[in-house]
Amino acid sequence: MLICPYIQPVLNKGYKILSIQYLRGLAALGVVFCHFGFALTNYPALSNAFNFGQLGVAVFFFISGFIIVYSLDKSGYKPDQFFTFLIKRSIRIDPPYWAVIALYIGLGYVLNHLPSYRGIIFKFGIGQFISHLFYAIPFTRYQFYNHIFWTLCVEFQFYVIIGLLYFLSDGKVYRTIFLLAFGAINLLHFDMDAVILNYSGIFAFGISFMIFCRNRTRRNAILPALFICLITYCHGITTAGVLLAACIIVMVANVHLKPLYFLGNISYSLYLTHTFIWEICNGVFKRIAIAQFQLLCFGIELAIAILFAWLFYLLIEKPAIKLSKNFIYQRTSRLSVKGSSMQTR
């Protein structure tokens, strides 16, 4: 018995899952509202409400647990194809990430040369730059160019753990034990914020819920129930409630809604670029003396952020997505590129 007449054909035939697409868009929009909302000091109630948008990060982690493991399982992935997996993910997510790093470095140099600039002076360091490229900042003494990059580091750690360990066996017993052990690590506290071990329960919940969606049985419902209790204990009832709402959306959102679909498409670009847009807009608004009109500024910033993310998606992210699809998994450890192949080492 399957979860609903919509999820069944989607999971079995590999169509883009509308509900997951909508969740991406809503999660990204929530994060944008959170960050932009901090400037609404004249509207504390609204600012506090927008602050809940930070829970969009938990939704992103839930989505990754759900969709990454599903797509790998569907493709017949094996651990000996780990470098194929990393190359595909790198081609998919790194060009937009690197482009935003370049934007921040460029912005730093521009601000350094503005006579009126009174902020922190930007200094380029090769170690910090390389650490960003390889998602190693959490394990170094360097600071992020932008604080939002921490979630990308957590996601990369998830790719490594899942790619190497989850698919060592396709047996139910092994995968159940793995998920239980992986999720239980969340009970421990690690001082570094940008490490997956502080969020493993959320990723494990996403994986277990995907399994439940593929085959709706009482047995498959046990793990999601355990993990939502774990999340409640480790992250609070609000986070657990938002993730349960995300589950409901996955199960019932089967209508094509163009605005949400659009937001889902640009969600990664919006997440990456929105703080860059805010920093520029904030500086401009102060110069032209309209910063005191906070709601107006909020609306303008939001509109510009979405427009810029759409252009960024079309020019950078979409070509990267298209290129990543040219690389396919094979039973051997070869990475095929439309007829040609190269050995992964």
The one-digit pLDDT tens for each residue of the chain (345 residues) are 344 444 444 454 444 689 999 999 999 999 999 999 999 999 999 999 999 999 999 999 999 999 999 999 998 899 999 999 999 999 999 999 999 999 999 998 888 887 776 667 788 999 999 999 999 999 999 999 999 999 999 999 999 999 999 999 999 999 999 999 999 999 998 887 899 999 999 999 999 999 999 999 999 999 999 999 999 999 999 999 999 999 999 998 888 889 999 999 999 999 999 999 999 998 889 888 887 899 999 999 999 999 999 999 999 999 999 999 887 776 544 444 454 433 333
Cβ proximity of 333 and 343 under 8 Å: yes
Please name the residues in contact with 254: beta carbons below 8 A apart, sequence gap of 6 or more. Answer: 4, 6, 18, 19
133 in a domain, yes or no?
yes
1 in a domain, yes or no?
no
Please name the residues in contact with 142: beta carbons below 8 A apart, sequence gap of 6 or more. Answer: 125, 127, 128, 131, 132
Task: Tell me the β-bridge partners of 241.
Answer: none
Strands of the chain, DSSP E: 327-328, 334-337, 340-343
Residue 192: per-residue pLDDT: 78
Residue 70 token pair:
């599903």
Handedness of CA 82, 84, 89, 90 (dihedral sign): positive
**Helix orientation angle between 294-312 and 258-287, rounded to the nearest 10 degrees:** 120
HSE toward the beta carbon, residue 240, CA cutoff 13 A: 15
Say what the pTM is: 0.90
Range of the domain at 82: 7-343
200 in a domain, yes or no?
yes
Residue 16: per-residue pLDDT: 65
Whole-number CA gyration radius for the chain: 21
- Burial string for 102-138 (b: 16+ CB within 10 Å, else e) reads ebbeebbeebeeeeeeeeeebeeeeebeebbeebebb
Residue 260: per-residue pLDDT: 94
Residue 331: per-residue pLDDT: 54
* CA geometry: angle 309, 315, 316, nearest 5 deg: 80
- Determine which helix (DSSP H) or strand (DSSP E) holds 7, and give its type and residue range: helix 7-13
226 in a domain, yes or no?
yes
183 in a domain, yes or no?
yes
- In the chain, the number of structural domains is 1
Distance CA 78, CA 85 (A): 10
- Burial string for 313-341 (b: 16+ CB within 10 Å, else e) reads beebbeebbeebeebebeeebebeeeeee
318 in a domain, yes or no?
yes
62 in a domain, yes or no?
yes
What CA–CA distances, in Å, run from 32 to 38, 129, 236, 284? 10, 25, 22, 19
79 in a domain, yes or no?
yes
DSSP string of 54-70?
Answer: GGHHHHHHHHHHHHHHH
